[in-house]
Amino acid sequence: MKTVTARAHTNIALIKYWGKKDPELILPYTSSVSLTLADFYTDTTVHFEPQLKADQFTLDGISQPTGKISAFLDLVRQQAGLSASARVESHNHVPTAAGLASSASAFAALALAASRAAGLALSARDLSRLARRGSGSASRSIFGGLALWQRGDDDATSFATALPKPALPLAMIVVLVDAGPKPVGSRALMANTVATSPYYPAWVSTNEKAAQAMVAALAADDFATVGHLTEQSSMQMHATILAADPAFTYWQPETLTAWSLVRQLREQGVPAYATMDAGPNVKILTLAPYVAQIKAALAPTFGQRLLTTGPGPAARVLTEVPD
Ligand code: ADP
Ligand code: DP6
Ligand code: CO
């Protein structure tokens, strides 16, 4: 056995994933496209220990319930023909459950560390499929830069792949409206949106077309289209959530403040587009030469709550120590 530590970075969807066709296998209704981020990540260490009575899991040094982790480790144990329990230690370099994609970096890091610790050497595709089972967005964090998660039809065909590196100097500014945990979990709200929002079928057909259009716009280095599609996918996702029963939004007043500042900048000719996930925080997609100007425009309102990042690397093993 080995003790393996892996690092995976979070990713922010430009074209969103929102809704599961198969909640057990985590098969999505639509494809999605994301940017893996350089400055937000999770480090996870896994060691299978036959003498342990049950799996143990700590997050940032604090012991946690093991339900989701054990269900995920069962998939790894099944593939590896192992029965031993595991000790899992994880550290988030991203706020947990705040809509900044901690579940993406978390399950990508866990998929890599646990599969290696169990003696498996999975391909990037199989790692993406495995990570998907922990959290849909994690399928994309196996890859650096831009990733496309093709929705697929079943467990074998639903996985992410890396998209070609664009010539565009993509940058992202995170506006921290609230770094605390979200009031309503995205998994439950996603299911309720599918079940009750009358706009959901429209979301599926529009967003699937947008995913394919995004791949083409990225390949053409057409930032105006990339940005426009990014903002549209986010707004349409939030509109679908608002139309669910009960109606809901993750937005806070400052979410709208940030978005309107982005729109004003755009009217002045600055290429800046807003995208929001399952939380109130706003991420601004732009090009590196415009970062300073955008931050200057937002600083009077958001002060130090502006973080700048850019494309990050693929998930990777940091250390592998044999027993
Ligand atoms: P986020 O917007 O941060 O992705 P989610 O609700 O999708 O929020 O996921 C948050 C959940 O992901 C947490 O409640 C926890 O179950 C899981 N999670 C977050 N970080 C880790 C970690 N490092 N290791 C294991 N699970 C984690
Ligand atoms: C709004 O991947 O966190 O960030 O699959 O239930 O774990 P589960 O959900 P998760 O949902 C991400 C939703 C999103 C959009 C996206 O990342 O594509
Ligand atoms: Co998540």
Ligand 2 center–CA 7 separation, angstroms: 19
What pLDDT is attached to residue 231?
98
> Which residue has a Cα nearest atom 14 of ligand 1?
97
What pLDDT is attached to residue 51?
96
Low-confidence ranges of the chain (pLDDT < 50): none
Q: Are 297 and 268 in contact (CB under 8 A)?
A: no
How do residues 41-59 score in pLDDT, each as one tens digit? 999 999 999 999 999 999 9
Q: Which of 58, 172, 161, 168 is nearest to 106 (CA)?
A: 58
- From the alpha carbon of 186, which atom of ligand 1 is closest? 6
Ligand 3 center–CA 239 separation, angstroms: 19
CA distances (Å), 151 to each of 32, 110, 123, 154, 213, in order?
8, 22, 19, 9, 15
Q: Which of 19, 32, 22, 3 is nearest to 233 (CA)?
A: 32
Cβ contacts of residue 109 below 8 Å, gap of 6+?
Answer: 6, 7, 8, 41, 42, 43, 44, 90, 315
Q: Which CB contacts under 8 angstroms, 24+ apart, belong to 149-156?
A: 149/17, 149/28, 149/31, 149/32, 149/33, 149/34, 150/31, 151/21, 151/27, 151/28, 151/29, 151/30, 151/31, 151/208, 152/27, 153/27, 154/25, 154/27, 155/25, 155/27, 155/129, 156/129
Q: Is the CB of 281 under 6 A from ligand 2?
A: no
Q: Which of 183, 264, 277, 298 is nearest to 233 (CA)?
A: 277
